[in-house]
Amino acid sequence: DTAVSQTPKYLVTQMGNDKSIKCEQNLGHDTMYWYKQDSKKFLKIMFSYNNKELIINETVPNRFSPKSPDKAHLNLHINSLELGDSAVYFCASSTGPDSGNTIYFGEGSWLTVV
């Protein structure tokens, strides 16, 4: 049973396209996240939602728009894709937004923009 699942796992698309990555967690957690891992494997948070409310919004281009229809889902939509958006995007979840809570990561979505 996959705790945090993302689809698609691999995505190759052309510049200028719009794409979405979906994420679902079956852990009953209240808080969900999107992290980006660049080509040098550096990880940085993008967004976080707690009970469907946005609580972290890092400096991310507004071409990136998260959507949380319910506590178990956090989708990431990207408009007008650019070459620099190529990365691995990780969805994650935790019981709540308190420091010390373990964050559980999905297996990642490898996005390649050509």
Partner 1 sequence: GNSVTQMEGPVTLSEEAFLTINCTYTATGYPSLFWYVQYPGEGLQLLLKATKADDKGSNKGFEATYRKETTSFHLEKGSVQVSDSAVYFCALSGANSKLTFGKGITLSVRP
Identify which of residues 31 and 75 has a Cβ nearer to partner 1 in the complex. Answer: 31
Q: Which of 23, 35, 78, 87: binder of partner 1 (CB under 8 A)?
A: 35
Query: Should residue 56 be labelled a site residue for partner 1 when binding is judged by CB under 8 A?
Result: yes
What burial letters (b/e) apply to 27-57, b meaning 16+ CB within 10 Å?
A: eebbbbbbbbeeeeeeeebbbbbbeeeeeee
Residues 59-88 that bind partner 1 (CB under 8 A): none
Please report whether residue 108 would count as binding partner 1 according to CB under 8 A.
yes
Q: Would you say 108 and 9 are in contact if contact means Cβ atoms under 8 Å apart? A: yes
Contact positions toward partner 1, by CB under 8 A?
31, 33, 35, 40-45, 48, 50, 55-56, 90, 92, 94, 96-108
